[in-house]
Amino acid sequence: MASQSFAERDGSIWMNGEIVPWSDAKVHMLTHAMHYGSAVFEGQRAYNGKIFKLKEHTERLFASADMLDMEVPFSQEQINDACNQLLELNNLTDAYCRPIIWRGSKMMGVSAQEAGINVGVAVWEWPSYFSEEARLKGLRLCISDWRRPAPDTAPVHAKAAGLYMICTLSKHKAEAAGYDDALMFDYRGQIAEATGANIFFVKDGVIHTPKADCFLDGITRRTVMDIARGMGIEVIERAIMPNEMEGFEQAFLTGTAAEVSPLSEIGEFRFEVGEITKNLMHAYDAIVRQ
């Protein structure tokens, strides 16, 4: 049986300052964001009824909107209140929260000064992005055909809808080939990230991760780096070339949805689900549930 459409779920959604029934949260076909990708969003997780790092996520949401020349007609406090209100209204404790800002349908064309800025928030129950069994075995990644764009070709530090088009294509191809996800290189051929998560490597007790200079500097990424340094583990942010993967012992992904997910394979390279990765996975799981 096919899974239920997100348009057909029960519950309430916050849309432009009002609580509306889930099925009534609609936009017109000629919405600018649908044609030109003019939308920014956040992905947040609630654990035990509390959204982890809500303030930081909303700050990034507004920063992304500013990068896309969007003046948000609501305050950060209003968005935070909406997220928390929806958890209560929908009777959710462990959930995913999706705030989104998009250009509307008042103007159609590349120019969109008068299109109107809309804001919505939805929350729903959502299990781990990857199954527990898959996490413990280590996820398998292939190498994407697509590369993360250069900073002078796209607003690469915004969590913008249009930037995920190549992520969808990469993940579809990976799953069709039996993989869990795909690793993406950047425009220079350096290791960048997976389709929706940042990547880390371990060698000789030291953690290495690509500098987030052309892709999203994830909130979970920064959290895990702080956890690792608190454990006395050195973390190095640097350019990492693909051939270096041969020398790394462990690898893992981080993200709001992925949390901390160990890797066993990236293309021809193999990794162990080692103690550093396991310790970070368990430490992160404990922190978000405090």
Write out the catalytic residue numbers. Answer: 159
Q: Are the beta carbons of 170 and 197 closer than 8 angstroms?
A: no
Q: Are the beta carbons of 118 and 82 closer than 8 angstroms?
A: no
Q: Are the beta carbons of 134 and 264 closer than 8 angstroms?
A: no
Q: Are the beta carbons of 223 and 249 closer than 8 angstroms?
A: no
Look at strands 250-255 and 198-203 and give their pairing.
Answer: antiparallel
Q: Are the beta carbons of 159 and 256 closer than 8 angstroms?
A: no
Angle between helical axes of 219-230 and 275-288 (0-180°, round to 10): 110
